[in-house]
Structure 1
Amino acid sequence: MPLRAKVTNPAFRAAASMSTSPEIPQELPGDEPDDVLFNSIYGLRSIELNRPKKLNSLNGSMARKILPRLKEWEKSHLANMILISGAGNKALCAGGDVAALALQNEKGVEGQRESTDFFGLEYRLDHTLATYRKPVISFMDGITMGGGVGLSMHAPFRIATEKTVFAMPETTIGFFPDVGGSFFLPRLDGETGTYLALTSERLNGVQALYAGIATHYLHSSVLSNMTQRLSELVFPDEMALPERLNVMNKTMAEFSLGLPSLQEEPILLAGELRSAIDRCFKFNTMEEIFQALDSETEQKEWAQKTLKTLSSRSPTSLKVTLRQMRLGKKWSITETFKREYEIAANFMRHPDFIEGVKARLMSKPPRQATWQPATLAEVSNETVDQFFNIPEGENRLEVLSKGDYQRYPHERFSLPSEAEIEKVVRESGRKASLIVEEFAEKWNFKDGVREKVSEVLARRTKNTHEGLRWIEE
């Protein structure tokens, strides 16, 4: 279907009232048929994004189908868990259908409002998944970017495979890493979230596990059998959600074929590179980050390559994204989506979004975008402030569930964080080998725990006559 035809099709548009109404959305006349497939296998309910030719990119039609079904299953005693996957063998979801949004914005204020309504719809869906009262599993099998990250990152179980390609590429198109990026990116180890947000760096396969994006790494060949096994699990009515999650976690571990060896696939965001990322991306202004990269000597080649990458991005996107990373650390999951809705509305009115999408996604071959303004110096603090101001009297996004939190309640299923490792080192001072085994045992010998803990200890500790000590930066 031609892109322009899709813009005027109600399958893409969100209802005009979606920006303020808390009502559960329903399908609209003209919504695409079969763009989402639903299935029931014993106690498992599956959501399969079914636009493989578009890499399962998310549009309003899909969101309007998924949300009512999620609400229905949440009340059902027969539905034990939810599985989200993508049709075909290339992608879970490559993002939102931003090409249609950009063309829509060219219609002026009305089109910009309709685009903003779509983001309100998408963020309600993401928030519903983030606060869902039943276990959710997401198969990040293939390309998982932008909107696809929103459908996976907030689930307790996020399965990476050898085909996973994760990225938040929004600064390349004059936008910002949304779909909850304000929440999960600043909470990754050190400055890795800031780095991923600004540069759009990709993480392939097992790297998504090491970085804290995925909770598990499995070979794609086992997903079908694991799905069948999970569907057969029976939970007593009185079993609380944490216990149900523990049972599922143990079941998934049974299907592991192990991780690629570190010789074959070393941890990417590790060692001297990771130290350089923390050194260069710790600042609160883009000008300071550029200066730090330009002055970097230990990882000079990486720093110069990163400078070139950042120099091609929208200066407005870079400054807004950096502010987002710093403020988002303090936002709850609900506040995150309310704030991102306001930021998205501002970007729909900004020329960089239309220009970025056309340059990178619609031009053949892709071209360098012409940003307005063109330099960091021209993007004032007042301009950035406007993206974060909430106009007086304006209705804020109303979400569809009451759950809220400051940290993911199920983060124990990911690899241990650097902060957790630091805490043990500071409290114990024991030998590195003992700390590694302590974490391995506590995490039930989960794949990747030993590798992650060993890398952190090698980079951030030193042996002294008083025992292992954490290196201050």
Structure 2
Amino acid sequence: MASSKQSNGFDDQVLIEENSYVRTLSLNRPRQLNALSSQMIDQLLKMFIAYEEDSDVKLVIMKGKGRAFCAGGDVAAVAHNVTDGHWSYGANFFWNEFILNYIIATYRKTQVSILNGIVMGGGAGVSIHGRFRVATENADFAMPETALGLFPDIGASYFLSRLPGFFGEYAGLSGARLDGAEMLACGLATHFVFSSRLPALEEALHKVDIADPAAICAVIDEFSQRAPLKEKSAYHRLDTIDRCFSKKTVEEILSALEQEAVKGADEWIATTIQSLKKASPTSLKISLRSIREGRLQSIDQCLIREYRMCCHVLRRDVSKDFFEGCRALLLDKDKNPKWEPSKLEMVSDEMVDKYFYKVDDEEWQDLNIPFRRTAISLRSKL
């Protein structure tokens, strides 16, 4: 017997449905493309913790209302709160979001995320860290933070650095959009199911009465199928991506791409070069270093480091690009951010280093990762 519960307050931003041993959490801000508000993050934290301790819950399903799963964290609200108040208001948002990401990455119960639409930024944080990610033909994935003056956070330096070759550097620096077939090919998605079959898949999952991931996977397998890559897919360019994005610096990456462009007209290379040149130079440099460090770090280490980086961004210690990006892309929408520093060569190694140091503030502390009895490595999920 299915029953529905609405979240307590917050304009029902998270809807809860109970089906026997299954709980379905639906992100419910369709007009905002289900961007995560602080209230939604608090609610999700509460529910994930409660379900993990509830023996009656065997499976958690996450999905989004409307045409998006989740377009990311509500960074416009974060920037507004910091501008009107103190940088720590934004730090508190990222603190709770990153704790939620860690709990999902180490969750003892199975999570199935249905990615039938836009999946960006914070939306990846509440899905990619989970065990099963079901993409459809409508899936539209991106980590667009460098265009906003930020960097791929929410533990992205962990999962991006573990994609094939240097595909993670490509996706993280360029903000490239990937469809469902590309998500499946690179490992961001575990299954591909056409949207027309989602109602039947959900009905089958609602009948799950055991917590065994293999059994749940078998249910999804019945509805999943191969997803052929489009002819112009970036995933066909892995050799070129590896040649270019394996370079040590952003300047060298851009130079390598421009050398590839000289060999012949290529729309993909031209688009990639344009994306890098439009992005914040500071964001590009800290993003590359973050992803490279992520290769050698655990998920908790990545989140702790990324939290430090976020706090430096909010404090405007080195650059104000995040606030300028929010202005240009989300508020005024003139799409013409004035980055400062404005060129890659003006962003020194010393400036980049500052993002990775502890914050010099007596009231500040590193992200306090909660003790988990069973910390399942995300490596086994990707």
For residue 145 of structure 2, what is the aligned residue in structure 1? 170
Which residue among 99, 102, 125 is the counterpart of 1:150?
125
For residue 417 of structure 1, what is the aligned residue in structure 2? none
Unaligned runs of 5+ residues in structure 1 are 1-26, 236-240, 412-473
For residue 445 of structure 1, what is the aligned residue in structure 2? none
Distance 1:385 1:406 in 2: 28
Does structure 1 residue 36 correspond to structure 2 residue 14? yes
For residue 100 of structure 1, what is the aligned residue in structure 2? 77
The DSSP-based 3-state class of the residue aligned with 2:153 is coil
1:168/1:73 CA distance change after superposition, 3 Å: same
Distance 1:353 1:215 in 2: 32
Shift of 1:405: 5.9
Does structure 1 residue 60 correspond to structure 2 residue 38? yes
* Identity rate, percent: 36
Does structure 1 residue 192 correspond to structure 2 residue 163? no
CA contact (8 A) 2:106 2:377 kept: no
For residue 315 of structure 2, what is the aligned residue in structure 1? 349
For residue 373 of structure 1, what is the aligned residue in structure 2? 341
For residue 61 of structure 2, what is the aligned residue in structure 1? 83
The DSSP-based 3-state class of the residue aligned with 1:79 is coil
Distance 2:227 2:366 in 1: 46
Shift of 1:261: 4.6
For residue 246 of structure 2, what is the aligned residue in structure 1? 282
The DSSP-based 3-state class of the residue aligned with 2:35 is coil
TM superposition score normalised by structure 2: 0.91
Matched length: 368
CA contact (8 A) 1:332 1:404 kept: no
Which residue among 203, 207, 219 is the counterpart of 1:228?
203
Shift of 1:267: 7.4
For residue 325 of structure 1, what is the aligned residue in structure 2? 291
For residue 4 of structure 2, what is the aligned residue in structure 1? none
Distance 1:407 1:154 in 2: 7
Shift of 1:409: 2.4
Shift of 1:400: 3.2
CA contact (8 A) 2:105 2:378 kept: no
For residue 399 of structure 1, what is the aligned residue in structure 2? 369
CA contact (8 A) 2:106 2:378 kept: no
Which residue among 113, 116, 119 is the counterpart of 1:141?
116
CA contact (8 A) 1:91 1:144 kept: yes
The DSSP-based 3-state class of the residue aligned with 1:284 is coil
Which residue among 270, 291, 294 is the counterpart of 2:258?
294
Which residue among 91, 97, 113 is the counterpart of 1:122?
97
Distance 1:354 1:154 in 2: 28
CA contact (8 A) 1:331 1:406 kept: no
For 2:347, the aligned partner's letter is: V
CA contact (8 A) 1:198 1:322 kept: yes
The DSSP-based 3-state class of the residue aligned with 2:322 is helix
For residue 455 of structure 1, what is the aligned residue in structure 2? none
The DSSP-based 3-state class of the residue aligned with 2:208 is coil
The DSSP-based 3-state class of the residue aligned with 2:162 is coil
Distance 2:295 2:105 in 1: 17
For 1:319, the aligned partner's letter is: K
Which residue among 234, 238, 250 is the counterpart of 1:269?
234
CA contact (8 A) 1:128 1:401 kept: no
Shift of 1:389: 1.1
Shift of 1:59: 0.9
The DSSP-based 3-state class of the residue aligned with 1:248 is helix
Does structure 1 residue 254 correspond to structure 2 residue 219? no
CA contact (8 A) 1:284 1:326 kept: no
Unaligned runs of 5+ residues in structure 2 are 1-6
